[in-house]
Amino acid sequence: MTARISSADGPAANDTLATGAAATEQHQAIDQRETASDRPGVAQPVPKRPVPDQPWGRIFAGMLLLLAGMLGAWEWHWRDFGVAPSIRNTDALWAIQRRRIDSGEGDATVIVASSRLFFDLQLDVWEKLDGKRPIQLAFEGTTPLPFLEDLAADPKFTGRILLGIAPEVFFGAYGRHGKAVKYMHDESPSQRVGQWLSMRLVEPYFAFYDPDYALPAVLKRLPWPDRPGVPARLDVRRLSVTEADRNTHMWDKVENDADYRALMRRVWEQNFKPSPNDPKPEDKAKKRDEQIDRAAKAITTLRARGVKVLLVREPSFGPYLEFDERLYPRATSWDALLAKSGAPGIHFQDYPELSRDWNSPEWSHLSFADAKEFTAALHEVVVRDFWRPETAPSDTH
């Protein structure tokens, strides 16, 4: 049945009919409106929104002042903590030193190690005694094997290598900075320029410009509630100060600030205790043997090219020394590496001048003053027993 509206319903009914007809026409127009898909290749009108008139110049200036104030407060905070500006030890900084070998210094003495020879061998002292400054290619928390293998594959290198052996890092294949070699070979021009600008315009002037003082790192260290099933761990904090050519020494705060020193000892002690996440003994032995085989192969290649390779077991102390010896006993690690590689080595326990009672605030690295003395003592042993000019080639490798 169709509803009928008579004229007796009056003007209101007519208005209703007109409104309904207009709405119907509007809906039909909407349904027939072309969209972007209906008009391929035709630019659509850009919607415009009026921007209110504001004092944008003053707003921008205020923003800059606020930013400067916040950065200034952050800088003041870390200066008050005892931090001073220094060069950041990055893959890019390592790459600068590595490129020296391919730029005419292929006969240099090169330090290939983890943090102990990185912190404890002072380039200034070695240069004064030896007449030539070594190239520092050590990296903290990283097995030196990738660096050793990279040098073995580079025919331009014909010099000498001090290969540092820190048992936990070397035989455990720690790889914190293992990608430095790849970074060096793949580094782009823009990355080089960025490193150059950072070393000259930022790092010498700002104390907070260090990964340890980045806001995410600081927030992570706050005493958050423990997550169920996730053991809380202390991260390694800043330990050292680095110069432009990667000459590095222990930060004096580790030595002189009792609380900070205790914190670093607690960081190491986390590793001394057995953990469910520890590798199985058979897996650990397999990894150790793989590291020994890799090192022996690289050393054989280097020695065949006339490169002198000398292994150095750097000092550790107290609980850290006990941990080193328990984790990787000398007979199955250091002695096995010497036998497999055929290279000579200096174990600090075999030399009274290297095993004296050094000042090691956190059991793994030497204070700045003692690092200088250790460098002089190590150089004396090296020259006296291994790298004497008059020795036959078969005895100097």
Q: What is the pLDDT of residues 273-297, one digit of tens each?
A: 888 778 899 999 999 999 999 999 9
Q: Give, in degrees to the nearest 5, the angle at Cα 340 between 335 and 341.
A: 100
Given a cut of 80, whether residue 261 has pLDDT beyond it is yes
Band of residue 257 on the pLDDT scale cut at 50, 70, 90: very high
pLDDT over 90 for what percent of the chain? 78
Structure tokens at 346: 């200096």
Is the predicted pLDDT of residue 225 greater than 70, yes or no? Answer: yes
CA distance 176 to 186: 18
Total Cβ atoms within 10 A of residue 347: 18
Whole-angstrom distance, CA of residue 194 vs CA of residue 196: 5
Report residue 248 CA to chain centroid gap: 15
pLDDT tens-digit profile of 48-97?
A: 788 888 898 999 999 999 999 999 999 999 999 999 999 999 999 999 99
Task: Kindly indicate the confidence band of residue 41, based on its pLDDT and cuts at 50, 70 and 90.
Answer: low
Q: Which is higher by pLDDT, 255 or 388?
A: 255
User: Mind giving me the DSSP string for 270-295?
Assistant: HHHS--TTSPPHHHHHHHHHHHHHHH
Residue 4: which pLDDT band, with cuts at 50, 70 and 90?
very low
Give the pLDDT of residue 49: 81
Per-residue pLDDT of 167-185, as tens digits, reads 999 999 998 898 999 999 9
At position 338, the amino acid (one-letter code) is L
Single out the residue of 57, 53, 55, 148 nearest to residue 98, CA to CA: 148
pLDDT at 1: 45
Give 116-138 pLDDT, tens digit per residue.
999 999 999 999 999 999 999 99
Strands, E assignment, the chain: 109-112, 135-136, 160-164, 240-242, 248-250, 308-313, 345-347
**With contact defined as beta carbons under 8 Å apart, do 110 and 135 qualify?**
yes
Token pair, residue 160, equals 């000498």
Using a 10 angstrom Cβ sphere, with 0-12 exposed, 13-18 middle and 19 or more buried, the burial of residue 121 is: buried
Give the count of beta carbons closer than 10 Å to the beta carbon of residue 247.
20
Question: Is residue 368's pLDDT more than 60?
Answer: yes
Residue 389: per-residue pLDDT = 59
Residue 34: pLDDT band (50, 70, 90) is: low
Torsion sign, CA atoms 133, 157, 139, 95:
positive
Sheet hosting strand 308-313, strand order edge to edge:
135-136, 109-112, 160-164, 308-313, 345-347
Q: Give the residue extent of every domain in the chain.
A: 83-222+234-396
Q: Provide the 8-state DSSP code for 142.
A: B
Task: State residue 275's pLDDT score.
Answer: 80
Architecture of the domain whose range is 83-222+234-396: 3-Layer(aba) Sandwich (3.40)
Mean pLDDT, range 193-210, rounded to an integer: 97
The residue type found at 30 is I
Note whether 378 and 346 are within 8 A (CB).
yes
| Distances from the Cα of 118 to the Cα of 68, 276, 343, angstroms | 36, 31, 21
Write the pLDDT tens digit of every residue in 228-245.
877 778 999 999 999 999
**89 vs 118, 203, 287, CA distance in Å?**
11, 11, 28
Supply the pLDDT for residue 30: 46
Q: What is the mean pLDDT of the chain?
A: 89
